[in-house]
Structure 1
Amino acid sequence: MPETAVGAEPGTGDVAAPPPPARRRTALLTGGVLAVAAATVAGLLVAHGSGGRHEAATADGLPHTSVEVTPAGCGRGWSRPEGGRQVFDLHNTSSTAAEVDLTDPRTGAVYGEVEGLAPGTVRPLRVTLGNGTYAFKCLPDDADAVTGPTVRITGAKVRSGPAAVPVTQQDLIPPTLAYQKWIQARTVELERKTDALRDAVDRGDLAAARAAWLPAHLVYERMGAAYGTFGDADGQIDGTTAGLSGGVHDKDFTGFHRVEYGLWHGESASALRGPADRLAAAVHALRAGWPDQRMDPADVGLRAHEILENTVQFELTGRTDYGSGTNLATARANLDGTRVLLGYLRPLLSTRDSGLPGLDSWLDRTQRLLDSFRHGRSWTPLTRLTRTRRETVDADLGELVERLADVAALTDVRRTA
């Protein structure tokens, strides 16, 4: 895994994209307090052995301490602890790659971490430390964790940056199971509303079908965190023309968007009966098979971030509009889905995420903004927004995506032993 930080400041290390999950998934954005981008520390000097503080000044103006990473000498080199903003230059002198955590040895809370530190390499960990006790924990690949000596800081004039106790797989099982039950109830609602859409098409009432399309589609969009578990059903229910050589006329273009295209592009009821029937069949199969599915608890925090990340990439760009002009309604449903998942994760986040109140405020703000585009049963299309309103929507959703990156980082299952 790449280099990340829990309480570290921007510029701590590298964050590589996670493997692309199912559906229209993208790499986890960097840029939050917890998921941070890499920075080059100009003037980096490496003090071998027990060196400690660097004598030479560094270009970043911060004090640097060289810290050894090895099973026999984890944390060696931090001999003169001081508070404040500083950089630890972690030097892996062993023959094995390792993860390194800066921890509170009493609680296990992590202030910063570097992952995938290769043998013979140096990486910086930038943190702000106040009064307290600290210890480096070295976790070599294929070996037990080793905790270095405890260091105490007194007389600091600043408070420490945020720290969080690592989340375990066991911690995530209860919210995951509760969310799975919520999804089960939504599949019943989805089936009922999709059947209403299909029935309207079957009887040739396309006006009723257009009225029924959005309510059914929004139920599915609220189920965002489960897409990775839906497997092939997701493409059958909510697929787009991406990757299809025939575009909207491709035989493999199916699901809600295929029906949407026909309803808003003048297709006849007879032409739409097949797509509507296939959509309903896929939804029925999803409901019938869901009790046998198991979501991966390790993924739920990442999904909380990805729902709105995909909203920004696909809904706010209009890439998933096939005629109904309801991207903003979909964005609002995605926001609902994010709130639901955060509700199940809240017991874990409340003691770990100091930014949770701010996240809640941004969720409320964005909800009010999106609600302003609803007019009864209709929604303002993206193409009719003024430039100022479009920029506001983009900015608010973008801010939420960054804040939700913290949730993804905090709920990432970390090795502790």
Structure 2
Amino acid sequence: MFRDRVAGRPVVAGVLALALSGAALAGCAAHRAAPAADDADGLPHTTVQVSLGRCGTGWSHPRSGVQVFDIHNASDAPTEVDLIDPRTQAVYGEVEGLGPGTTRPMQVTVGGGSYAFKCLPDDADAMTGGTVTVPGHAPAGPSAPAVSEQDVIPATIAYQKWIGGRMTVLAARAGVLKGDIDRGDLAAARRDWLTAHLVYETMGAAYDTFGAADGEINGTTAGLDGGVTDKDFTGFHRIEYGLWHGASAAALKPFAARLTADIGALRRSWPQARMDPLQMGLRAHEILENTVQFELTGRTDYGSHSNLATAAANLAGTREVLSGLRAQIAARYRALPQLDASLARLSGTLDGVGHGGHYPPLDDLSRTRREQLDAAADDAVERLADIAAIFDIRRTS
């Protein structure tokens, strides 16, 4: 369940801010004649002022290299400040939600070229400061043109249609599972439970749009006082617990009927649902982030020991989201080949522990295999954080 899974983990906005100011969108800065004695990071610092009617004053000694702008908001309204290429509008770094009278650092890397600060105050039009030219031919850090909502609407619509098709498959496979339980064939039910569940686990970017239905269909015991016996524990994981803990077919029939009914209701309502285009890049990151946190630790295992199969389904779901965004990513992200290689490495690592789509329990893996799998997944998640940062829709006017 998406909402259960994200509870208690670090807020992704912090990851995005780090990526934008550093690895994902490194950029430009300026300097004092020498770092001040209180600059514990050892980097050159420049104080840059933003105020009503003025944006980015104080940068008078441009140079290349890793530097820090200390952005001070002298106005009486919160503002966002971006460092941009004034010709292409590509963003090198940003500070969001800068309150009145406050100062925050923007650490960026600058190469030779032209730069400007862009200020986007709350409830006011954007302003772009004067262009500053940095001499020399040092390479600039990565940058990305801002993504607009219009840029991602086509991919969102296509993905929503794909989810509709997956729901047809999901409903059919859940029906097979219900039929197994209704006729008392629990061996077949254990096989068909996994087949149905893996369909759902490929649909991760839509969980938030599913709303309460996600908890009803794929919820865990997280937050339930009664644990596995709580009346609100339903769906795939409740059936999983029963199938692998000796429950009778009669005891499982109500849960199977409830699961097919919940899936049917979600399927009927889906044509009226509207996914948020602003969330697509973020979801591409969160799917595998949740995989690392919950599947590769076994926290969602209620007896089937199918976490590795679920991880493979999650990876397939991540790739589906990225396929729709690929043209936008390619235009903004120079490390796309490295991301592709990282996802391929994770896929190959999973294939190396599975056989024809069948995976052993996590506990059966050697320590070396677990470390290889964790390392491959962690690398993919880190690279996908860059995608979430790039698709963090920001104001342009």
Mark yes or no: TM-score above 0.5: yes
CA RMSD across the alignment: 2.0
**Would you say the 8 A contact 1:53–1:64 is kept in 2?**
no
Aligned partner letter, 2:134: I
Find out whether 1:109 has 2:86 as its counterpart.
no
Aligned partner letter, 1:310: N
- Structure 1 regions of 5+ residues with no counterpart? 1-19, 38-50
Which stretch has the larger CA shift, 78-87 or 282-291? 78-87
Whole-Å separation in 1 of the counterparts to 2:43 and 2:250: 71
Task: Give 1:334's match in structure 2, choosing from 311, 314, 334.
Answer: 314
Find out whether 1:273 has 2:253 as its counterpart.
yes
Structure 1 position 256, deviation (Å): 0.7
Whole-Å separation in 1 of the counterparts to 2:280 and 2:213: 19
Structure 1 position 33, deviation (Å): 6.8
Q: Could you say which structure has the higher helix fraction?
A: 2
Residue of structure 2 equivalent to 1:184: 164
Whole-Å separation in 2 of the counterparts to 1:188 and 1:146: 49
User: What pairs up with 1:164-313 in 2 under 5 angstroms?
Assistant: 164-313=144-293
Structure 1 position 60, deviation (Å): 2.7
Structure 1 position 378, deviation (Å): 3.3
Structure 1 position 34, deviation (Å): 2.0
**Would you say the 8 A contact 1:62–1:87 is kept in 2?**
yes
Change (3 A) 1:97 1:283: same
**Would you say the 8 A contact 1:113–1:125 is kept in 2?**
yes
Q: Percent identity?
A: 60
Whole-Å separation in 1 of the counterparts to 2:266 and 2:16: 36
Structure 1 position 305, deviation (Å): 0.7
Change (3 A) 1:56 1:253: closer
Whole-Å separation in 2 of the counterparts to 1:367 and 1:52: 48
**Would you say the 8 A contact 2:181–2:189 is kept in 1?**
yes
**Would you say the 8 A contact 2:153–2:277 is kept in 1?**
yes
**Would you say the 8 A contact 1:316–1:394 is kept in 2?**
yes
Paired positions, count: 384
Whole-Å separation in 1 of the counterparts to 2:21 and 2:374: 21
Structure 1 position 62, deviation (Å): 2.3
Task: Give 1:74's match in structure 2, choosing from 55, 72, 89.
Answer: 55
Residue of structure 2 equivalent to 1:402: 382
Whole-Å separation in 2 of the counterparts to 1:106 and 1:307: 35
Task: Give 1:411's match in structure 2, choosing from 380, 384, 391.
Answer: 391
Whole-Å separation in 2 of the counterparts to 1:359 and 1:317: 23
Residue of structure 1 equivalent to 2:125: 144
Whole-Å separation in 1 of the counterparts to 2:88 and 2:175: 53
Render the CA deviation track for 1:105-130: whole Å, top value 9, x for unaligned: 11111111111112222222111111
**Would you say the 8 A contact 2:2–2:214 is kept in 1?**
no
Change (3 A) 1:398 1:32: farther
Change (3 A) 1:323 1:107: same
Structure 1 position 264, deviation (Å): 1.0
Whole-Å separation in 1 of the counterparts to 2:48 and 2:197: 54
Whole-Å separation in 1 of the counterparts to 2:288 and 2:21: 19
Structure 1 position 35, deviation (Å): 4.9
Whole-Å separation in 2 of the counterparts to 1:387 and 1:377: 21
Residue of structure 2 equivalent to 1:15: none
Structure 1 position 31, deviation (Å): 8.2
Change (3 A) 1:138 1:252: same
Whole-Å separation in 1 of the counterparts to 2:15 and 2:5: 18
**Would you say the 8 A contact 1:54–1:66 is kept in 2?**
no
**Would you say the 8 A contact 2:36–2:45 is kept in 1?**
no
Find out whether 1:364 has 2:344 as its counterpart.
yes
Residue of structure 2 equivalent to 1:387: 367
Whole-Å separation in 2 of the counterparts to 1:85 and 1:278: 58
Whole-Å separation in 2 of the counterparts to 1:35 and 1:280: 43
**Would you say the 8 A contact 2:78–2:99 is kept in 1?**
yes
Taking structure 2 as the reference length, the TM-score comes to: 0.92
Taking structure 1 as the reference length, the TM-score comes to: 0.88
Report the secondary structure of 1:347's partner residue.
Answer: helix
Render the CA deviation track for 1:385-408: whole Å, top value 9, x for unaligned: 112211222221111111111111
Whole-Å separation in 1 of the counterparts to 2:254 and 2:106: 58
Render the CA deviation track for 1:41-84: whole Å, top value 9, x for unaligned: xxxxxxxxxx9656745333322222111133312111222222
Structure 1 position 334, deviation (Å): 0.2
Change (3 A) 1:272 1:68: same
**Would you say the 8 A contact 1:225–1:300 is kept in 2?**
yes
Change (3 A) 1:200 1:56: closer
Structure 1 position 23, deviation (Å): 4.5
User: What pairs up with 1:48-87 in 2 under 5 angstroms?
Assistant: 53=33, 56-57=36-37, 58-87=39-68
Whole-Å separation in 2 of the counterparts to 1:384 and 1:342: 32
Aligned partner letter, 2:128: T
Report the secondary structure of 2:139's partner residue.
Answer: coil
Whole-Å separation in 1 of the counterparts to 2:69 and 2:320: 39
- Structure 2 regions of 5+ residues with no counterpart? 23-30
Report the secondary structure of 1:91's partner residue.
Answer: strand
